[in-house]
Homo-oligomer: A and B are copies of this chain.
């Protein structure tokens, strides 16, 4: 098993079509602890008054951050089995978001990751926790 590099993780993060549309960037990367940056887009707004970012995008960022906590260890994306997200505050327009995913436990078949979503002003926007299916072979 070769070591997983930040460049490997960045490649898995930036290749999928939806990640490209979201404009995702790898903000930081250590084994089992990854932060993904999601810049603001006007299409993200949720309401008629354009006052906050859609909660579905926060769930998306949480899902991805949890997933990439494992990508940083395994070198490959892992399927999400289930996800829970608690919304703490509305996400403001014009402000980028950071999703930090950390591995809670990585078993042979399943792994649990914790996620915290903050904005780049440092406000805590949401917390999440997801369950991911580990690859049969183990890793890269």
Q: Kindly list chain B residues whose C-beta atoms are within 8 Å of the C-beta of A81.
A: 86-87, 110, 131
Docked pose: A82 CA to B126 CA in angstroms = 9
Once bound together, how far apart are the Cα atoms of A59 and B21, in whole Å? 17
Give every chain B residue within 8 A of A64 (Cβ-Cβ). Answer: 56
Neighbouring B residues of A15 by C-beta, 8 Å? 47-48
Chain B residues near A87 (CB, 8 Å)? 79-83
A46 at the interface (CB under 8 A from B): yes
State the Cβ distance, A118 to closest chain B Cβ, in Å: 12
Report the bound CA distance from A127 to B104 in whole Å. 9
Residue from A47, A48, A86 whose CB has the most chain B CB atoms within 10 Å: A86
Stoichiometry, copies per complex: 4
Render A12-35 as a binary contact track against B, CB cut-off 8 A, 1 for contact. 100111111100000000000000
Distance (whole angstroms) from the CB of A93 to the closest CB of chain B: 10
Contact pick for A18, options B17, B54, B90, CB 8 Å: B54
Least Cβ–Cβ distance between A111 and chain B, in angstroms: 10
In the complex, 18 of the A-B residue pairs with CB atoms within 8 angstroms, ordered by the A residue number, are A15-B47, A16-B48, A17-B45, A56-B56, A59-B59, A59-B83, A79-B90, A81-B110, A82-B84, A82-B86, A83-B85, A83-B87, A84-B84, A86-B104, A86-B131, A88-B112, A109-B109, A131-B131
